[in-house]
């Protein structure tokens, strides 16, 4: 399948440093019981330095498989993956990752969970605990440093899991539908919280979501995937200035982009008999 790219709104910027992530011509298939399934076909995308990029697409289109390849857990059949201009195809330990569920270790305190990535990597610095407590306070978890995960609500656990990824030594963060298990109110609160935290930290982020409004609110750019085998159908540069506020979701330009993305998603998900999230 040939990759098609449609720019809805483009806001080009000069980028002098190499991209935080560059995926070029990635394809992948799996064989089970002598039957081959094509999962990804000729996928190319970029995350520039300090950029927040989202992927939306129907279920089963290979988004999580792409994350596994970026993380070095699965090797592509074709294509290359670069981070900061260096080929890292098939290499592990180059990214920090936040899954759909918090995945906090129940026997470790919240503070120890937050510090886990640096501990595993062997990069904990003097003052790391003080830094962790600073960030825990900023996300409303002051006083829970020595609590255990079962003592926290779902939203609080997600904040701790995000901090674990944020404080990891790797520069690139992969967020795989981190808010999908939350109720609508908590999800909205987490979106606002993530916006504020990202504005302060400006890590390079690749984010998977099925929620179109969430993608528009958070992202600099959105890649729209086709159904399986997944390929990039459209690329949308999100034009809204930062810092962003909730009010932009009612603006005519935001609603126009939301309608366009919803139409593309409906066209793809109709093939699977599913409706896109709003």
| H helical segments located in the chain | 63-70, 110-114, 116-121, 128-138, 154-166, 184-201, 212-218, 252-269
Q: Which residues lie closer than 8 Å to 30 by C-beta, 6 or more apart?
A: 36, 37, 39
Predicted TM-score (pTM) of the model is 0.84
Statement to judge: residues 150 and 88 lie in one domain: no
Statement to judge: residues 16 and 76 lie in one domain: yes
Structure-token match 């498989």, residue found: 65
- For residue 40, give the nearest of 54, 57, 20 by alpha carbon: 57
Structure-token match 């990635």, residue found: 26
- pLDDT given for residue 15 in this prediction: 60
Token reading at 18 = 């190499």
Tens digit of each residue's pLDDT, the chain (278 residues): 444 444 444 444 446 789 999 999 999 999 888 888 889 999 999 999 999 999 998 887 888 899 999 999 999 999 999 999 999 998 888 888 888 888 899 999 999 999 887 787 776 777 888 888 988 988 889 999 999 999 999 888 988 988 888 888 788 999 998 888 778 888 888 888 888 888 888 889 999 998 999 999 999 999 999 988 899 999 999 999 998 888 899 999 999 999 999 999 888 877 766 555 55
Domain boundary among 132, 153, 169: 169
Domain boundaries, position 81: 1-94+172-278
- For residue 269, the SS3 value is helix
- pLDDT given for residue 9 in this prediction: 43
Q: How far apart are CA 252 and CA 137, in angstroms?
A: 37
Domain boundary among 169, 186, 205: 169
- pLDDT given for residue 135 in this prediction: 85
Pairing assessment for the beta strands 52-56 and 204-208 based on DSSP bridges: parallel
- How many domains does one find in the chain? 2
Pairing assessment for the beta strands 78-83 and 172-176 based on DSSP bridges: unpaired
Domain boundary among 110, 140, 169: 169
Statement to judge: residues 243 and 109 lie in one domain: no
């Amino acid at each position: 399948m040939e990759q098609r790219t449609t720019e809805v709104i483009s806001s080009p910027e000069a980028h002098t440093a190499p991209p935080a992530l560059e995926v070029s011509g990635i394809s992948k298939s799996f064989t089970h019981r002598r039957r081959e399934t094509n999962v990804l076909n000729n996928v190319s995308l970029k995350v520039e330095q300090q950029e927040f990029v989202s992927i939306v697409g129907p279920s089963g289109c290979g988004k999580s498989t792409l994350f596994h390849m970026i993380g070095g857990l699965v090797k592509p059949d074709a294509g290359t993956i670069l981070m900061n201009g260096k080929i890292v195809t098939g290499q592990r330990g180059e990214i920090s990752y936040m899954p759909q569920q918090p995945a906090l270790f129940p026997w470790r305190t919240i503070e120890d969970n937050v510090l886990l990535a640096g501990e595993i990597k062997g990069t904990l610095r003097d003052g790391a605990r003080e830094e962790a407590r600073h960030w825990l306070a900023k996300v409303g978890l002051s006083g829970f440093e020595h609590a255990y995960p079962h003592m926290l609500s779902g939203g609080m656990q997600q904040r701790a899991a995000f901090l674990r990824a944020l404080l990891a030594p790797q520069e690139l963060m992969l967020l795989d539908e981190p808010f999908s298990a939350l109720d609508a109110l908590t999800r909205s609160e987490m979106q606002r919280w993530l916006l504020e935290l990202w504005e302060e930290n400006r890590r390079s982020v690749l984010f998977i979501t099925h929620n179109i409004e969430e993608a528009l609110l958070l992202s600099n750019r959105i890649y729209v995937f086709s159904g399986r085998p997944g390929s990039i159908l459209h690329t949308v540069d999100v034009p809204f200035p930062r810092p962003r506020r909730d009010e932009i979701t009612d603006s005519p330009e935001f609603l126009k982009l939301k309608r366009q993305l919803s139409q593309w998603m409906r066209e793809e998900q109709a093939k699977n008999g599913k409706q896109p999230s709003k």
